[in-house]
Structure 1
């Protein structure tokens, strides 16, 4: 007869010992990760901000009281206020975090450029940040039902949701290249649903843009010296289809203004011209074929779209389609 003890005779508490040891070891490891997050919050949040960290055993969750973050540089001014901030992080992944904001308002301003400022306020917002080698590999933010103010627009914007995605793609210009095109340093994608300017109709927005410069952008001066912002594609559409599609180049001027030049295609040329000129909305049927127009603008100062050609009849319209949407 075998003398090997039966598993049924081993006390239950003996089988639980490895599990208990594992929990204790993981708790001490988790505590170390918690302390790292606590230190990061202490270095980021202003003095007087309160927070607590929980989430054992699977995650780290930091909940703060009211938050007021601000930055004032030579060119960039930024501020974030929130009633509460919740930071979630997997303990072993310090390069990735998800941040939820309640009752937040964020504002940005490029002080050397007149009118280039933005403020967005929302009751709920969520951001995810992934860093890599000290750069932003991906920053994504979603605002729910935000109110938006742009410094160069007299009327406010509103939307059901707005999402932004930013990536830093640092690169150095080839000193031997004769191409006037500088490398892309940052990429920006914007999406918005039910976007309204003032009393305008709700539209969908899709924007893909890039910042170019001779070297990675660490200051406004770096970008100002020959850099541009390239709107590769901006589309405004409604349930009927595209209303406007444009591409443009934005360049900083020595006079403290931002200069914009590009082309757009639209099925509502009269409505677009009225919106650019700041005139009251017009009644217009959609054209059967998109019309291509050149435009220039100095945000907050002027915006000009090529006028209709003298003597040329207006484009044929789609009589059975809905009227053009109100743009403002």
Structure 2
């Protein structure tokens, strides 16, 4: 409402409101989830401040480089800047800037509504345990592979959003340092996201993670991640394809089997660590999977670095 009054006051175009809609939805859905996972007012304040700072940086940092670098389009505020300057924005640019906000908002609203139960509201378990609880509610014992496939798909928009923020933070560093840091950080984010389903199964479903289940779960997770990547790729890569940073993030997506194998090997490494040593081996497994992922990406983009 305040934004509408400001736009009317400056006699701006009603189109200025369009980029704000997904941002408002994202803050509302995130507020619901933060309220559910926080155990106290202190924790609620800390998580809310951290989250709002991160999202504000995601929104405002790219808009500083409007009309300078294509990466600025990851922020919906860049569309508002372009509109105020009289340039406007296309439907493709709007979809690129807002799609991640729309999709992540839908996922967060769904997770919040399905977990809006008494045992979740009054639970005093640690933050990580509550997050695993939320994830476990989406995994069905009757259809575990379909659950892992769906969960992997739902994590991809969040992965892309974090990776886009990494683009903003690192693209101004000298080359090739920025590319190497981006590779490591992006690979780590992907490996953590892909492993959430198997980690939840290993910790919440005792005895379920057999070697056969690990293999099947890894395949379904890798496949779900690949399918969601391809769907979002149609939106994101079209705008930043000419950027070397876009090449780094999405270099292996041109062929189907290469990203699938990278995803499969990574999740198999983490899953094997969980199977052999339990949750205590999760972090070493993630680190090893990240190193392997980085090695594969370095090989694929070696022409950009040396």
- TM-score under structure 1 length normalisation: 0.28
Higher CA-based Rg? 1
**Greater relative contact order structure (CA < 8 Å, 6+ sep):** 2
Structure 1 or 2: more strand by fraction: 1
- TM-score under structure 2 length normalisation: 0.30
Structure 1 or 2: more helix by fraction: 2
